[in-house]
A and B are shown apart, each in its own frame.
Chain A
Amino acid sequence: MDFGFLYHAFGTVMLNPMNFFFVFIGLTAGIMVGALPGLTATMGCALLIPFTFGLPPVQGLLMLLGIFCGGIYGGSISAILIRIPGTPSAAATLLDGYPLCQKGMGGKAIGMSTVASFMGGTTGALVMTFLSPQIARVGLRFGPPEFFALAIFGLGMIITISGRSLLKGIISCLFGLLITTIGFDPLSGVPRFTFGSRDLLGGVTFIPALIGLFGYAQVFRNIEKMQIVPAVKAKVENILPTLKEIRSVLKTIFKSALMGTFIGSIPGTGCDIAAFVAYGEAKRTSKHPEKFGTGILEGVAAPEAANNGATGGAMIPMLTLGVPGDAVTAVLLGALTLHGLQPGPLLFRDHLDVIYPIFAGMIMAQFILLIVGLSGAKFFAKTINIDRKILTPIIFFLCVVGSYAMRFSFFDVGVSMIIGIIAYFMEYYEYPASPILLALILGPMAEGNLRRSLIISRGDPLTFFKRPISATFIVMAIIIMITSYYRIKKAMEKEA
């Protein structure tokens, strides 16, 4: 690491107002894209790539980085206000964000999400700046058994996000896992549960499923309650969390941010897994786990710090190995290629003139995020006071557009509506939706790597315990599952 050069690069990037402008544009666009259900940071980046052709590579990349960070943050706004995660990574945020909003603290929840995103994002960006090559080497030690163990570790979080009944949470999770088995199976080369449909060959696509689970289900609930439940007129109070509030969640934020960065840095995992793991861990170690899910700031801070930390983390394998950390970085990788830069070990050696400005841009993006987020929070929070008779059709419309726009497919619109109807009835009978989502994220990772590991070990299941990293994750998963189960059970008994 050449500190003089690094310092110089930071200086040139940060002092050039044009760079500031491009990050700002990207970030604002990212927040909007992220907040709209169905439009994700991945899509925002993909759509913007052609516009970066005319720019020098560094400025084009800065704009895309802005979208990335803004998009991941923006998802939390709709999660908090209308209980629909704008991006998958905000799905953990709604667990406490929406209850907060119902208490009339929507503004404050957004404020907290902004501060947590800023701190998490900065942590991730700093780790990326100083430790990229080292962390990339750890990532390489993740083979199929490790990925399987990590997926199990993540699936263990259903205990903390299941709500009142663990059994119902597990049933939800299994339902999600079943959905992930639909489609062409790349391991055996045969289609499963497609019934000859070409559209189902690729399986149930993730974003339409997300829109169904949270978007349509919420629309149906709104319609149901429109006449009975009187609308609460929420006052948009102070957005800025007080110093006391920040101090009380500071430890959670940093722990979540570091966990998020690490999880993001493993190739193939992303911001969404990071958010769920951080939420689960915050709940498990909290002094008052029973309060999670009822609307507390900690429950917003943990996933938001983690998913923005993961943005920096996900950049690490992309820049050092040419392996995308998640879906967004896969698009960024394409963008770098189109600008004539091949990400990989050589980029890190020969193109520090691009790498360092990327670092600087990532850090700059966090500060702009803080400013834009806090100044916009009040405005966003006001949407909650829109009459439900007007808001609900708008959300419905966004759901249709969002599920269509992912890949211009009416089939997906149908899929997401069907899932929405199922999800509505499941929630009606108190089967939580979040475990389904967690299963959709982790199911393919768990299944594929379980089978891959067993192929490599020629059928020996002990392979998961013979390797230190995978053994550690599995043992940790078991310990965490047992302790959270008892802690939460105890806390709930005390409450009852």
Chain B
Amino acid sequence: MLKKIGLMFTVAAVMIGFTVTNGIAAKFPTKDITLICPWSAGGGTDTIARALVKNAKKYFGVNVNVVNKTGGMGAVGMGSVATARPDGYIVGMITFQLSTFRLMGLADLSYRDYSLIQLVNRSPASMSVDAESRWQTLKQVMDYAKENPGIVTVGHSGAGGGWHLAIASIATVNKVKFNYVPFDGAAPTRTALIGGHIDLATTGIDEVLELYKAGMLRILAVNAFERHPLFPEVPTIAEAGFPNPSPIFDWRGLGAPEGVPEDRMEVLIKGFKQCFEDPEFVKLADQLGLPLVYKDPEGFEEFLAGMEETLEPALESVGLLKPIE
């Protein structure tokens, strides 16, 4: 009798075991997902990544953990996502630099190496001057620069970076010669501006939000088609008198290694979209002045293809175009 009961229990246990494992095989995810951030902790991309997945458990049922794999202008971290095992448990933040690696001959890596998940934000450049600057409008700066070529110092966050290319393409089109001063990131650029060490700074518009609100600098234009909701007084580049049909944006998005199974991609795409729409994340992005723009995988791919087309002539104009064939 006891033996029989024991047997029944065993059979039952085995059966439960089977059903459970069957369930698991179809279910994704069953363990934590890793989100690789190619930039260091505390930086802009890192902050966004961490804020994005803060409530991930609600939508995925598991945690999404941010791991910083930095170095090589982001190529190390982004490259490690592209070559990771395509089981959906490793995804990564991909950023603007991915659009330039191949064109600048830095690394054979582009958006084509990923199963794209979505675009997260698309930030326009801004041109600002110190609050005490004699220039009130972008036109005054451009006119002065035209008369005095190579005199106006323009700080940006690194050669070949989005903000360098953004201002360089505008300058080239309008036949203006600036004296470019590359800094190591946006923070030292804006500090140099309010310290009076450079005449003009190009940064992401969100990166000067705090200083702008404090009245320490004046933003002359935003390099976009529309005004920015947090900076309603700042004119667009066209309104400032320099129409720009294809402005260069900084962007951040999410990608998985190429070859993640279709059904898992669907889970990732849906889950991250929910994270993206989480009120807490939206609120933080609002505070940061970060223009959130959602694009699904197809739209994202189209956007990235267009970005490369825009960047090619811009890189050529500053002599940094060395594409890997």
- A interface with B by C-beta (< 8 Å): 42-43, 45-46, 49-50, 53, 140-144, 183-191, 198-203, 205, 267-268, 317, 321-324, 330-335, 337-338, 340, 342-347, 349, 407-409, 448, 452, 455-456, 458
Chain B stretch 48-106: residues in CB contact (< 8 A) with chain A = 50-51, 54, 67-73, 75-76, 79, 104, 106
When chains A and B are docked, how far (Å) is the Cα of A248 from the Cα of B194?
43
B287 at the interface (CB under 8 A from A): yes
A residues in contact with B214, CB < 8 Å: 344-346, 349
Chain B stretch 208-222: residues in CB contact (< 8 A) with chain A = 209-211, 213-214, 216
A-B contact count (CB 8 A): 157
Which of B72, B183, B198, B283 contacts A202, CB < 8 Å? B72
Residue of A nearest to B197 (CB): A143
B41 at the interface (CB under 8 A from A): yes
Q: B39-50: contact bitstring with A at CB < 8 Å (1 yes, 0 no)?
A: 011110011001
A456/B198 in contact, CB under 8 A:
yes
B320 at the interface (CB under 8 A from A): yes
When chains A and B are docked, how far (Å) is the Cα of A201 from the Cα of B312?
21
- B interface with A by C-beta (< 8 Å): 40-43, 46-47, 50-51, 54, 67-73, 75-76, 79, 104, 106-107, 109, 150, 153, 158-161, 164, 179-184, 187-188, 190-192, 194-198, 209-211, 213-214, 216, 283-284, 287-288, 318, 320
Which of B71, B179, B284 contacts A205, CB < 8 Å? B71
A201/B106 in contact, CB under 8 A:
yes
A residues in contact with B104, CB < 8 Å: 189
When chains A and B are docked, how far (Å) is the Cα of A31 from the Cα of B153?
45
* Distance from A101 Cβ to chain B, minimum over Cβ atoms (Å): 33
Residue of A nearest to B216 (CB): A345
Which of B54, B159, B161 contacts A188, CB < 8 Å? B159
A337-B288 contact, Cβ under 8 Å, with A186-B184, A198-B76, A322-B211 = yes
* 15 A-B pairs with C-beta separation under 8 A: A141-B195, A185-B159, A186-B161, A187-B182, A200-B72, A201-B73, A201-B76, A267-B187, A268-B188, A340-B283, A344-B210, A345-B214, A345-B216, A347-B210, A452-B182
A residues in contact with B184, CB < 8 Å: 186, 448
A321-B182 contact, Cβ under 8 Å, with A184-B106, A191-B106, A456-B198 = no
A140/B72 in contact, CB under 8 A:
no
When chains A and B are docked, how far (Å) is the Cα of A411 from the Cα of B211?
39
* Distance from B269 Cβ to chain A, minimum over Cβ atoms (Å): 24
B188/A456 in contact, CB under 8 A:
no
Residue of B nearest to A185 (CB): B159
When chains A and B are docked, how far (Å) is the Cα of A456 from the Cα of B183?
12
Residue of A nearest to B187 (CB): A323
Residue from B41, B158, B164 having most chain A Cβ neighbours under 10 A: B41
A189-B42 contact, Cβ under 8 Å, with A201-B75, A409-B71 = no
A456/B76 in contact, CB under 8 A:
no
Which of A43, A142, A200, A331 contacts B195, CB < 8 Å? A142
Residue of A nearest to B319 (CB): A189
* Distance from A336 Cβ to chain B, minimum over Cβ atoms (Å): 10
When chains A and B are docked, how far (Å) is the Cα of A316 from the Cα of B107?
38
Residue from B67, B76, B184 having most chain A Cβ neighbours under 10 A: B76
* Distance from B37 Cβ to chain A, minimum over Cβ atoms (Å): 11
Which of B109, B191, B213 contacts A323, CB < 8 Å? B191
B194/A334 in contact, CB under 8 A:
no
When chains A and B are docked, how far (Å) is the Cα of A86 from the Cα of B161?
34
When chains A and B are docked, how far (Å) is the Cα of A321 from the Cα of B198?
17
Of all A-B residue pairs in the complex, the 7 with the closest CB atoms, nearest first, are A344-B210, A189-B159, A143-B197, A201-B72, A202-B71, A46-B41, A334-B42
Which of A143, A186, A323, A345 contacts B182, CB < 8 Å? A186
When chains A and B are docked, how far (Å) is the Cα of A184 from the Cα of B101?
12
When chains A and B are docked, how far (Å) is the Cα of A322 from the Cα of B46?
16
* Distance from B151 Cβ to chain A, minimum over Cβ atoms (Å): 8
